[in-house]
Amino acid sequence: MSKIEQVLQGLTSPYTFNNLAMLLNTAGLEYTLQGNRPLTLFAPHDLTFDTLQQRTGFDLMTNIDKLNLLMRYHIVPLKLSSAELKKEAIAEDVAASDQVLQLPTEAEGYTLQARPGNPIQINGVRVVQADIEAENGIIHIIDGILWPAGMSELSFGERSTVHAPGEKERP
């Protein structure tokens, strides 16, 4: 069985993940997905990124620090199948309509809210395909981008604060 990064690259139908792979690599997270720690990746498919680009014209690669935070927010440092999400919700003994699990993310200090209904929702974004197994974790395909608190697509319309070493900010 392959690691998460290789599984993601091999997925082609009905969804592709070229944009996500490029963004994860740009953010320097390809080694996180190749590691041996158990992970869950909530993976937006290409159409979600294409739609964002068409709607806003913003380039997520204009600010690598923000991109890194955004991509780490899609990674949970635990291997959680859909069945395990539902089991955890039941263990929390919360009324079915109020079942919300707080999931830690690789973005330190940020959590995701999982509603393990049918379909599962993460921060209100629908899981469209769950439980794609990898050697070091699991992938759940989502129909949107997960935005950490204080960040939105508009954050990437702002001027980048990341510069090459020795480079001065251009007007």
Give domain limits for the chain: 4-155
Note the pLDDT of residue 62.
82
Note the pLDDT of residue 105.
97
Note the pLDDT of residue 167.
39
Q: What is the SS3 assignment for 110? A: coil
116 Cβ contact partners less than 8 Å away, ≥ 6 residues apart: 82, 85, 86, 88, 89, 99, 101
Q: Is the separation of the CB atoms in 44 and 145 below 8 Å?
A: yes
Q: 3.30.420.140, 3.40.50.10330, 2.60.40.1180, 2.30.180.10: which CATH number matches 4-155?
A: 2.30.180.10
The answer, yes or no, to whether the previous bond of 104 is cis (omega within 30 of 0) is: no
Confidence (pTM): 0.85
Regions of the chain where pLDDT drops below 70:
1, 89-98, 157-171
pLDDT tens string 89-99: 666 655 555 67
Note the pLDDT of residue 99.
77
